[in-house]
Amino acid sequence: MSNAAISESASRRRQGELGQFLTPAPVADFMASLFGLLPNVVRLLDAGAGAGALTAAFVSRLCEKSDGVRAIEATLYELDPFIQAALSETMQDCQRICAEAGIRFSFAIHATDFIQEMSALLENSLFATKPPAFDVAIVNPPYRKIGADSAERRNLRQVGVETSNLYTGFVALIQRLLAPGGQIVGITPRSFCNGPYFRSFREDFLNNLEIHRLHVFESRGAAFREDSVLQENIIFHAVKGRKQPRQLVISSSSGEHGDIVAEKAIPFAEIVHKHDAEKFIHIPSASGHAAAKKTMHGLHSTLTSLGVSVSTGRVVDFRLKDALRWKPEKGTVPLLYPCHFNGGTVHWPMPEARKPNAILNNDETRPWLVRAGVYLLTKRFTSKEERRRLVACIFDPEAVESEWLGFENHLNYFHSDGHGLDRRLAVGLFAFLNSTVVDQYFRRFSGHTQVNATDLRTLTYPDRKTLQAIGTEMKSLDLSQDEIDGLVEKHLHAH
Ligand SMILES: C[S@@+](CC[C@H](N)C(=O)[O-])C[C@H]1O[C@@H](n2cnc3c(N)ncnc32)[C@H](O)[C@@H]1O
């Protein structure tokens, strides 16, 4: 039975409960191609095996090049009774192909709960039966949130795994079952790389698995187009051990069949930053980064040559505490914080915000204020969840009327010698700074989420004419990322 037929026959709801999304054959084959040197006898684990697509891909790769492997002993876990027949059929096919290639293939299918069974084995390992050990694990684990009181959570907790999703639970257990030097290739959502709830999982993963390769899909959903799973997926190849390699391969593709894989070697220190307590796994997209570098190096203007300056907001709120007001009142002027950013524009006042909306306009505060005008603002600190590192918005004096303004210290503002900017230029800069090209370029050199005025000064920019042309064509500030990118690209290539 084909993957497509199986996914049609199983109801969507059931698929959701079991976290069942079958790996398309080209992706499975790519995953199988990532393993390094193998022992003569390969003890293989396929947890959440579905119809066996991953084991099948591993077997057919190995049979093509054999590499001295004499035997494969496959262990498969699959809970869904409706897919068991397809799974044993696939295993029999594997046996046949292996026999033709002179490789002994044996398999054991466990129609049981992998989490429950392995947690119990690992927990009791000191007293009773030893858990099995594996040289190779190939896995597309089920994805589903597991509640704090669920049986899965309790099982995992018994072996020291604290995690809120099935997929990280699977990977954490597999890691424990690998023999030293054992390898895992997995495809999972990308959320564990920087999700705030995955910190302890990341720590466990990075302390016990050496990452050799990370592969990302350029467009969302590409890997599972048939199931329209809009998860961002990642494929990793890691080896059980405690010494991360100095560098690893980052690659990307669209997930479509026959598509070209772009790869790049990146120092491990750029992927996981040494002093990052959160242990985020940063994954630059190989092709996007190379293209962004090329584009940015083709630009020759600087902020100075454009007659534009960038400064950090001058109102340091705790120093001017007495002058701050929650709501605008007589004698005050608008005070802007990043919380006033609203899409591409400023939304002010925000009475529900936890920041003051106004500042007194008097002799004491005036040195820290600016005259009204069109300004481009960027956040100095973006949250980890934010899609882009650079988040820019336009301050429009027509939307917020006032002769003076205060920009708070958590934002940077672009100005012309302390005054507002030409509107078209400001909007052009807005589009440019919000574009994916700049974001990707920026991520190349900045590992953290902070954007300093100096960073913005060191960027190269399109010339004034190009920026103004972008600004003229941009009729709304509320464009989608694709629309912004399209507009910027069009003008960068035209000039
Ligand atoms: C994302 S699918 C992947 C299937 C297959 N490995 C593939 O790549 O095509 C995950 C599989 O895990 C199975 N599964 C879910 N929870 C499980 C559990 N606790 N123990 C064993 N299998 C489970 C589901 O039925 C599903 O077939």
Summarised one tens digit per residue, pLDDT across range 264-285 is 888 898 889 888 888 888 887 6
- 28 CA distance to ligand 1 middle (Å): 14
Cβ–ligand 1 distance for 408 under 6 Å, the answer no
Point out the ligand 1 atom lying closest to the alpha carbon of residue 143: 1
- 15 CA distance to ligand 1 middle (Å): 9
60 close to 97: Cβ distance less than 8 angstroms: yes
Q: What digits encode the pLDDT tens for the residues 144-178?
A: 999 999 999 999 999 999 999 999 999 999 999 99
Q: What digits encode the pLDDT tens for the residues 181-204?
A: 999 999 998 889 877 789 999 999
Cβ–ligand 1 distance for 24 under 6 Å, the answer no
Point out the ligand 1 atom lying closest to the alpha carbon of residue 139: 6
* pLDDT recorded at residue 401: 92
Mutation test of ligand 1: which of 14, 21, 79 has the most ligand atoms closer than 8 Å to its C-beta? 79
* pLDDT recorded at residue 456: 92
Point out the ligand 1 atom lying closest to the alpha carbon of residue 115: 19
Cβ–ligand 1 distance for 142 under 6 Å, the answer yes
